[in-house]
Structure 1
Amino acid sequence: MSSTATTTTNSVIAQGSLSLPIVGKEGYKYTNLLPAFPKDEHYPPLTPFEHVDPGHRALKHADPRSFLKDAKVTQLTPSIGEEVRGVNLAALDDHAKDQLALEVARRKVIVFRDQQEFIDRDPEAYLEFGRYFGRLHIHPTSGHPPNFPYLHLVYRDENSSFNYETSDRTIATTWHSDVSYERQPPGLTTLFLVSSPETGGDTIFASQVTTLKRLSPEFVAFLRTLKAEHSGHEQADYSRSGKRGGVVRREPVIHVHPVVRKHPVTGEEALYVNRQFTRRIVDFKKEESDVILNFLYDHIDRSIDSQVRLKWEPYSVVLWDNRVTAHSAILDFVENKGTRHGVRITPQAERPIPAKEDLVLPE
């Protein structure tokens, strides 16, 4: 699992019509999960679908947390984050997966340790696991393992980077909710690293439920009336410029979502804007929109009491609810030339539900 566990050697992996310089590892266990960027890979626009969250079923269970009865469970902070040891994700039945969905919704992010059996399975098993929680999403620009477009890869080594974009900001932290520009953005999401730096490269999460609660009731009432545009165009343009693998598999979209959304299972309200994909408040002038959004972005950045920082250990799997959290990788390992290689399984969920029931979103 460590980036220093094997000797590195430069190699080239050819994928479709595009050859990419990849740092290969002699004896590297996860070469089948290295990123591919086929240039002839294109998909039509996504179509709406009906999503039913498995967590609804768990609400009817006599003990909705019974899948954790033999586990060691540690609350990482009062408002967000849980660490679990003693549960094998690869062995969960449907009853337990329903409970898992509810537990993630309630705790926002859960890290399951000692998950070698889950990680070392065939990629088809990853997809089977993810499909239980929703329709799987193909990322329009990121790398994926050859022949497995539904698996999103994060990858950076000392010579290559396909996910971490150059930033002109003083910090590299970029809070976001994954692909929030989609009409039906992700819900329960899974990520695991198969290679990580000796130190650094943690992932930080923020509870958007708690960040909303920190605001005054009058301001929250105002935010409930607002809609915001989320755009995938900038991400696509970055790839079209030749970076991030240089592919755009599906034309970029802009969708309008409520600034405050409601979780379909827990009923909790959450702030739903992020610095990476939210572009403007609908029907507001630019300066007005910028004031509101920049205040909310800064609020998320500074809300340490709404955040949890997860340190990666070998064979850890993290699940979080993209509807009620924001997150960012921490790029503190870059100067040490470490490798960070991970796999994300990304089921889509429902179209965001406005907290204010009479808020009308455009089709």
Structure 2
Amino acid sequence: MAPSIAEIPEKTENAPITVPVKAVEGSAEATKIRRVIEEEGGKTTASYPNYLPVWDHNEKYPVLEPFEHVEHGLNADPTFKDLLPSSSKITKLTPSTGSEVTGVQLSKLSAAGKDQLALLVAQRKVVAFRDQDFADLPIQEALDFGGYFGRHHIHPTSGNPEGYPEIHLVHRDGSKSEFESFLANRNSAVGWHSDVTYEQQPPGTTFLYIFDGPEAGGDTAFVNQVEAYNRLSPALKERLHGLKAVHSGFEQAEGSRSRGGVVRREPVQTEHPLVRTHPATGEKALFVNGGFTRSIVGLRKEESDALLGFLLNHVGRGIDYQVRVRWAPKTVVVWDNRVTAHSAIVDWITGERRHLARITPQAERPYETPYVSEPEPKPEVFKA
């Protein structure tokens, strides 16, 4: 999904962003601006036309600079008293992964409530909040809310609302032709990924909210990477610790260029540990995904392909630690990008628009804590 924003290297949680370099009008670099609303003839059925995507080929951002991330879930009150009042209701979607909340208005949360939100999402991995006013807020207010959780990330290739490059937009028209084009070289819409893990500091607490969606279909699936790690044998866990993998943004940039799309920032690749530790919960999680993880450092290609292939298959087939979130009007889904992967489900051909916005605060650089050996399970003794 998204990358990040070029910013002044200031040691604050929300360092100010730099102004993008605009190409000189009439120069070779000055190119087109694509607007969906213009492609729809200036008239649109979109419920929120101010959120329709724009791709400005003139905007270029410099490389990202490191920043100091503050983890708000670290010292949050685990009773969640400022987040979940007695009038609210929280329901588990599966035993290990995902919850749904009603009776809470995210935009009204206090600082303590936001801290507890970060902790709840870290614990449950993904939380769907219903009946939210996010879509109706001025865009800058929505960004101000998201900016509490980290520095905003500007995606290098996606569309955004005009004037707000920090918003990553998801937009499909749901036509049969688009569906057939999407599946032209694949058998399934499933594409597990964690957002922009090629960045040195990938996203943490992440927000996605909906404007329009099909009556049925277009769900989002999430997989719990902590539970995926927990299911591995102690011997394999121990072997994975200390290994790093290469995460690359080059393929995403090339894919955009090949379609005539934008590339606002030159692509990068970064090495991250195969197993990362969450700073608020201390949980260990697999940190690999099919979208951006390319190889394991220090292994020969056949070895890397085999081990990485096993891990990705393990994540993808783990239906018992996955959850499927169904979208409904006024829903905001919040997930922790550090310990999950997700996939959109492209399964409708009714021509209904699927239109969502993502706010993507960056977090700390992934790190791992030492492996702690686990006691071998004792064999059961048969008793008559």
Q: Same fold (TM over 0.5)?
A: yes
- Of 163, 181, 193, the residue aligned with 1:147 is 163
| CA deviation map 1:293-341 (0-9, x unaligned) | 11111111110000000000110000000000010000011x2222111
Amino acid at match of 1:175: W
- Of 269, 276, 282, the residue aligned with 1:267 is 282
Q: Say whether 1:36 aligns with 2:36.
A: no
Task: Give the Cα separation in 2 of the matches to 1:229 and 1:152.
Answer: 24
**2:82·2:112 contact (CA, 8 Å) conserved in 1?**
no
Partner of 2:358: 344
Task: Give the Cα separation in 1 of the matches to 2:48 and 2:350.
Answer: 22
Partner of 1:220: 237
The TM-score, its normalising length taken from structure 2, stands at 0.84
Q: Name stretches of at least 5 consecutive residues in structure 2 with no aligned partner.
A: 1-29, 372-384
**1:264·1:353 contact (CA, 8 Å) conserved in 2?**
no
Deviation at 1:286, TM superposition (A): 0.9
- Of 185, 199, 216, the residue aligned with 1:199 is 216
Q: Name stretches of at least 5 consecutive residues in structure 1 with no aligned partner.
A: 1-14, 358-363
Task: Give the Cα separation in 2 of the matches to 1:189 and 1:197.
Answer: 23
**2:35·2:53 contact (CA, 8 Å) conserved in 1?**
no
Deviation at 1:65, TM superposition (A): 4.3
Task: Give the Cα separation in 2 of the matches to 1:143 and 1:151.
Answer: 8
Deviation at 1:93, TM superposition (A): 1.0
Q: Say whether 1:120 aligns with 2:133.
A: no
Deviation at 1:16, TM superposition (A): 7.3
Task: Give the Cα separation in 2 of the matches to 1:86 and 1:351.
Answer: 34
Amino acid at match of 1:127: L
For the aligned residue pairs, the C-alpha RMSD in angstroms reads 2.0
- Of 235, 256, 272, the residue aligned with 2:252 is 235
| CA deviation map 1:44-75 (0-9, x unaligned) | 000000101111231xx373344212211101
Partner of 1:156: 172
Partner of 2:7: none
Task: Give the Cα separation in 2 of the matches to 1:52 and 1:197.
Answer: 37
% same residue:
53
**2:78·2:116 contact (CA, 8 Å) conserved in 1?**
no
**2:82·2:110 contact (CA, 8 Å) conserved in 1?**
no
Amino acid at match of 1:88: Q
Q: Structure 1 residue runs of 4+, over 6 Å off?
A: none
Partner of 2:5: none
| CA deviation map 1:130-157 (0-9, x unaligned) | 1100000000000000000000000110
Q: Say whether 1:134 aligns with 2:150.
A: yes
Deviation at 1:27, TM superposition (A): 5.8
Partner of 2:112: 95
Partner of 1:72: 89
Q: Say whether 1:356 aligns with 2:370.
A: yes
The TM-score, its normalising length taken from structure 1, stands at 0.88
Task: Give the Cα separation in 2 of the matches to 1:19 and 1:179.
Answer: 23
Partner of 1:57: 75
Deviation at 1:18, TM superposition (A): 2.6
| CA deviation map 1:85-117 (0-9, x unaligned) | 0001111111110111111111100000011x2
Find the structure with the greater CA-based Rg. 2
Q: Say whether 1:19 aligns with 2:19.
A: no
Query: Secondary structure of 2:55's match?
Result: coil
